[in-house]
Amino acid sequence: MSQNDYAAQIPRRETNLSLEGGYVPDPDSNSDQCSSAPSAGTGQPAPEALATAATAAKNATAKAPAKRASAKKKMPAKKTAAESVARPGMQRGTTSSTERAGVHRVGLNVSDRLKWIFREQPTDDYGIDGHIELVDDDQDVTGRLIGVQVKSGDSYLYEVTRSKTEPGWHYRADSNHLAYWLGHCLPVIVTFVDGEQNSYWQVVTPANIKEEAKGFTIWVPETNRLDSEAKKALQAFATTWRSLDTSLPDNYRELPSGATACLKRAEPIDGFAVARLADILARGSSNARFTAEAIVSSTPSWITGSAVAEDLWLAVATYAYEHNHGPIASKAFAQAAAQNGPRRGRSLAFAGLAVITHSRDQARPFLLQAVNAGETLLSAVGLSMIDVPVDDARAVPVPAAIASADPDEIDKEPTVLNFLAELALRSQDTTRAVQLREKAVAASSEPGGSMNLALASTLWRQLREVGDRNAAVRRRAIALVQETVEARRMWHGPSDEALELLLDIFNTAGMFKEALAAALPDAEGGSALAHEVTTAVARRGALAAQAIGDKSASAHFREVLGDSPERKELDALVQDVVPASRDERLRRWSELLKEAPDDQMRSRIVARIVRLGAWTEAADDMESRSVLPPFQADIFRAIYQANDPTQDQQLGVSKLRDLARKSSLAAYELIQHLEETAEPAQAIRAAEELTQHWGDTTLAEQLVDLHWRLGDPGKAVALVTQYVRDDAFADSTRADMGRRAADYLARNGNHDEAVDLARAGLAVTSDDDLAWTLIENLHALGRIPEARDELSRRQPAPSVEYERRLWVELRLGTHLETADAWALVGLIRQQPAGTLRSDMTALLVREVLQSTPEGVTYPEDLVTATRDLQDSEGLHPQEAELSTDALLRERVVRPLAAAGDYPKALAAYVAGTQPLADVAQATNQTWSAVVLQRPAGVHAVSDLAPGLRAVGQQAAEVALSQQQCAIDIAALYTLILLKDDDRLRIRGELTSLTLPASFARDVSRTRAQVRAIITADRTLGINSAGHAAWITPSFKQRAELQRAADLLEQQADAAHTAATAPAAPYSQLAALAQKASLTVWCDDNAGRQMLRGRGVATFSTVDLLSVLAPHLNLRAISQHLATQQVVDRGCCTDL
């Protein structure tokens, strides 16, 4: 969220008493440990008391034989009870002559068609009829083997037609066959031989089988013929296959830690069943609900018949619950309880807890049975939750069973500790809640689990209540959430929930860059996984993007949000910046309140409504349910009264002042209210007092911002000098503050102080902009060796021509290391054609190809790249040899424009020989910011020569006929100078304006830069004698500059953008126009000539108005533009 919405974020509450992940069974959380031997009741039917609760699972088991009735007639006879064994496997059987013939046929196909080796097993096999050994194309025997099970004869073929394009067969067999094959030391395939002696095959892997209660099926497509076409697939299978036991460690890493703990406990007793279940769960993590539901509904015999069935079912249950599938988890817990093992009571309790938020009626029987089974603590948690109304956050008494329990026993139960923490939060005792959740994390055996999130959320709430002044606590909360995000990503869990909390912490701490990086998907340059960018994450990401002015990221998130209420909320926040009546804004927010899907959004909207001096029933409703905490409700009422013209507003402000001493949220609201309604001095004074009282970093940032905008920039610099070294502030915040203050100091000639501040900021975090600020100020001070050292150390990427020139200057006279040479290659490729590019290439050629020091060898690819650039520039070797450091420095360094060089660049612009974009680069500002400042005092919009005017009018006619054109920033600026009606008429004729995406970014960055400009003591401009000089803007000029920046951004937003390769501004514009066959509307004289030199048709505003003369009042327009100091370089009379 933006800082303006700081108070709108009410503390998170679980209004239905959910325990934030506390249901997960923790095998090490109490003294009831499982024996290493199977219990006497393992594998027995559920007791009578559990019959009703386990109905669904029993029905699935009961129906399975009926579904396969027809298959049983053709399957081998069942083993007798005497022949059965406790664990799945194979017993010796008989082999028919038909089967032997089938083996022989498969062997012939392998030898004749695959050209591989087939070795038949002895006739008394145990599920493997032969081995295939792979032979490579050079006839070398590879030693790679595949086990083969051959089936032949009609009794094994069940033809089914899945579709018209893929007929095939289902092979059905019992679990003993499958256990043998999956546990084999070799990869295994099954093959069929039909009546026409054709062989078909399928690999036996967990992914290819369909589990059933007492067996499995495997689909063999008719397209899988055992011939030469099968070679590639079988080679891949033999090469990549891994047995279940060797895959187990990797599978453990892809499962929730609670599920892994259950499986590891069972592994010594039934390792094969554990490996098999781990493989199924890990492979199915991307669709965990389907995976868990398939196991629960089929109740596989290899689970129910295992000596460790209880732990296997607990693993399934924990897996389902951690993936947020409570009802399925409840059924699996019930299955675990049905085994009558040592964890029966806990399993029953968790069966109830897992389903409680979905159906309290289903949960109660489980919890009551758990009480009868001796599990009183967990049952008390669930029964207490059932008795609390849904969406009610009022205080709840501690259940008697927990209040009377042994404290040591409670400290072993993370779920109970987490529950008690929730009760403490309901009683507004955040400190106690933190203590309890610290214990819960310590007692939990689940690293990076749900207990982490619960603790982090509570720490975050505590910081907001008492002031965000403890950097260690904030960092711990962030670390806990980040650990959970990464852990859940490992097993494809609900990482988006953890990501939401991380973004909330980042946004409320003013760490908007971190929030944006965490919320954007990796395809957009962020770190989020695609499935994590949900509506909730996108809303938080959009708030961060809006806070730092990243329009591209904001557009991405808005697209994700679609037409949701969250998207409308963001739109309303943007609209609030535009002047509108109180009634209009109130109507907008009141309508949105009706669409709010949850209490979180309702609370944010209520915060907006009370700032408009209105109250709403929604606030009363949330207060009655304690969803709106009492302290937050008091703040809202005070804000409401302070803004309601029908009430004693001064009394409302007094209440807010009183609350500001009790809550940092109220302090922020008071400062914001005073800034909007009182004198700036009052807001600054209150900010100074409350920042000292709370030590809150958000209030401190607010105070610095007030000094920049309304007070004394010198005080802002003094505060930043202090804060940039204070680790209570977020690293990115310290870097941002340091960069702004260092730029201010540099503009005012305080280069030494700027260097110190930049270094302090860089000691916190890496930042290219701050690094260039440091290097440029060292250069301005003549401390060239230091500047060169910092350039080598920081390695900042140059983004503008000034930085590229400075990079080259600092490298002159020094040997280019390989990394530096590659960097120079990159800079040359970015630089548009011209003298600078040629000189940079000459330097590269001389260093890499001609003047390499003895003993130094550059990589061949670097040498090749250098020769390519030499050829592309048409650079003769002798030219490079003649490019001495002195000559290069003269040609490269001369254009570097420090403050003293500014008049030269300005004079070139006034003379029409240099575009204003170059002036911007020379002064290290955005192009848009320089356009808005109008350093020449006037805005020149047309050519002097009549011939050029005629050419321009022809281009304007083309644009009007197409109703579209490309546009530069200077012309966008002219557009905002026109009256609204005239601007709309022109936009009606030119319905589509296009500009390079880099221009749009330039405009979006300008608002922040304009803020820095208007807080400066002085800026460069034209004095009364017509010379460049430092001038002090008036208050009116500062306000007009800010208004113009806002209007320019609106026009840029309304235009289309197109990506272009990095280059000089007018080179980008030329490339865009040529690619899209557009003319260019350009109000920079030198820029127009540069475009025309590249063959691009271009026109000015004067050209356009001349063509539109029949439809416009040119005299009125000329008079209006004259008041805006717009001239056409000698042709004003034509207007």
How many other CB atoms sit within 10 Å of the CB of residue 236? 11
pLDDT at 698: 87
The residues that bridge with 132 in the sheet, in sequence order, are 118, 146
DSSP letters, 746-779, are HHTT-HHHHHHHHHHHHTTS--HHHHHHHHHHHH
| Stretches in the chain below the pLDDT threshold 70 | 1-99, 123-126, 153-166, 213-214, 447, 467-469, 813, 875-907, 911-912, 922-924, 934-944, 1004-1005, 1007-1038, 1122-1135
Distance between CA atoms of residues 926 and 811, nearest Å: 26
What integer pLDDT is reported at residue 338 of this predicted model? 96
Burial annotation 919-938 (CB, 10 A radius, 16+ → b, else e)? bbbbbbbbbbbbbbbbbbee
- The token duo for 863 is 């040498």
Note the pLDDT of residue 65: 35
Q: Cα 454 to the chain's mean position, in Å?
A: 21
Other CB atoms within 10 A of residue 890 CB: 11
Q: Are 712 and 525 in contact (CB under 8 A)?
A: no
Burial 44-58 (b: 16+ CB within 10 A, else e): eebeeebeebbeebb
pLDDT value at position 173? 80
pLDDT at 1131: 33
DSSP secondary structure letter of residue 214: S
Measure CA 928 to chain center: 30
813-to-809, 887, 889 alpha-carbon distances in Å:
9, 11, 9
Which H helix or E strand runs over 678?
Answer: none
The total number of residues shown for the chain amounts to: 1135
Instruction: Pull the structure tokens for residue 43.
Output: 């594998």
Neighbours of 886 (CB within 10 A): 10
Q: Which domains does the chain have, with CATH numbers?
A: 97-245 (3.40.1350.10), 712-796 (1.25.40), 927-1134 (3.40.50.1010)
Using only C-alpha atoms, the chain has a radius of gyration, in whole angstroms, of: 37
> What is the pLDDT, as a whole number, of residue 164?
54
Order of strands across the sheet that contains 1080-1081: 1056-1058, 992-996, 964-967, 1080-1081, 1098-1099
Q: Which of 45, 497, 60 has the alpha carbon at shortest distance from 299? A: 60
Q: How far apart are CA 215 and CA 178, in angstroms?
A: 8
- Dihedral angle of Cα 24, 27, 29, 32, to the nearest 10 degrees: 130
Kindly report the number of other CB atoms within 10 A of residue 423's CB atom.
20
**How many Cα atoms occupy the beta-carbon half-sphere of 475 within 13 Å?**
8
**Predicted pLDDT at 521:** 92
**Contacts for 351 with CB less than 8 Å, ≥ 6 apart:** 53, 317, 330, 331, 333, 334, 337, 366
Closest CA to 76 of 169, 147, 187, 171: 171
